[in-house]
Amino acid sequence: SYFFRRARGAGLRTLGRTTTPELGTSGMSETILNGITGNPWNLERSAGGSSGGSAAAVAAGITPIAHASDGGGSIRIPASWCGLVGLNPSRGRISGGPYDQDRMFGLSRHFVVCRTVRDMAAALDVFSGPHPGDPFIIVQPNRPYVEELSQPTGTLRVGVARTKWGAVDTEPDVLKAVELTATLLEEMGHIVADMEPPYQPEEYSRIMLGLSDFYAGSLETVARAMGQTIDAGTLEPANLKLYEHGRNLPLSYAGGVHEAIGKIRFRVGEAIQAFDIVLTPTMPSVAIPHGGIYCTTNPALSAEQWSEADAALYQYLGIFNVTGQPSVSLPLAQSASGLPIGIQIVARFGDEATLVRVARDLEEALPWSGRRPKVRAGRP
């Protein structure tokens, strides 16, 4: 792929492949084929997804950095639950190259999970940049991102999400971590104010359900190329239901999805225009136990119910895939039981530089380098 050509060009070496949920659909890395990916902090808990295997490998010390991708939270979910740095870059910052441009209407992006802000900045320098034929060229940075690590942050207007944005309640330990971070940013001289939820969960749910039309067409193309049929023998239950739902949508439905994406970008943009950055929980909870309704192996939910559950649990994440803004999960806190808590910082479109500087400040103020999970490479 174009991403790995850039990785090899920068001198990186690939150790192997890691696990994901089937087709990257879920935030829980559990499949019939490959089983369950445990969280190194607690093997009875999920490592998250869809980049769950990558996050587990980095958290366990197998590698300092791993490829990840994010179409609705798939970098930030496992980063939050595994205690890592997980940046979802701006739409267009990381080119898909000649064969993967503007994936999922621009919602999905490639990047990495890692342990330090320095490695995040270095990875941005390696992987960012346009490719001829990209649908649009995002504004390029003024200087290498690693140089932002030595630049002043200035005074920022910070919007803080102290209320839930979806149906799932935010755990007290997570809210406490948000308050701690907001107080710290205020002590650093930033202007902090509360913000209301900038969208309605059903708006996002409709978009994701509508994308099942695109999803169905892509699956059929791959199935034909592989000489496979699409049925219960080749797809897990949730993915089969999403496929069937998308196959039954009229062709005109794609236009409605485009329109809905445009409207929600505009509404969210207006709602948060007053702020330079937005502070939210990454996830409303620490890593949850394996199984349950969020796995593609679960046969209990219809396509509509699956989409609603997705919007409820990943309430702070997928919306910024729609708007295209960069957002990073930082491992700034731990629960009373010792599990990582990720805090999300969102910047204006194209402003990864501010995220690098703010993330550096928070890493210095609330260092996480000394925290290690029980399960680590080389430990007997």
- In the 3-class helix/strand/coil scheme, how is 202-265 assigned residue by residue? HHHHHHHHHCHHHHHHHHHHHHHHHCCCCCCCCCCHHHHHHHHHHHCCCCCHHHHHHHHHHHHH
CATH number where 125 lies? 3.90.1300.10
Per-residue pLDDT 10s for the chain (380 aa) are 899 999 999 999 999 999 999 999 999 999 999 999 999 999 999 999 999 999 999 999 999 999 999 999 999 999 999 999 999 999 999 999 988 877 777 889 999 999 999 999 999 999 999 999 998 899 999 999 999 999 999 999 999 999 999 999 999 999 999 999 999 999 999 999 999 999 999 889 888 888 877 778 889 999 999 999 999 999 999 999 999 998 888 877 777 888 889 999 999 999 999 999 999 999 999 999 999 899 999 999 999 999 999 999 999 999 999 999 999 999 999 999 999 999 999 999 999 999 999 999 999 999 999 999 999 998 76
Q: Which two tokens stand for residue 360?
A: 């550096």
Would 249 be classed as within a structural domain? no
Say if residues 49 and 24 touch (Cβ distance below 8 Å).
Answer: yes
Which amino acid is located at 50 in the chain? S
Would 206 be classed as within a structural domain? no
Would 254 be classed as within a structural domain? no
Would 338 be classed as within a structural domain? yes
Would 121 be classed as within a structural domain? yes
Q: Which domain holds residue 358?
A: 2-194+272-295+324-365
Opening angle at CA 276, ends 272 and 279, nearest 5 = 70
Residue 380: predicted pLDDT? 64
Domain count, the chain: 1
Would 253 be classed as within a structural domain? no
Note the pTM of the prediction, 2 decimals: 0.96
Would 225 be classed as within a structural domain? no
Residue 36: predicted pLDDT? 96
Would 267 be classed as within a structural domain? no
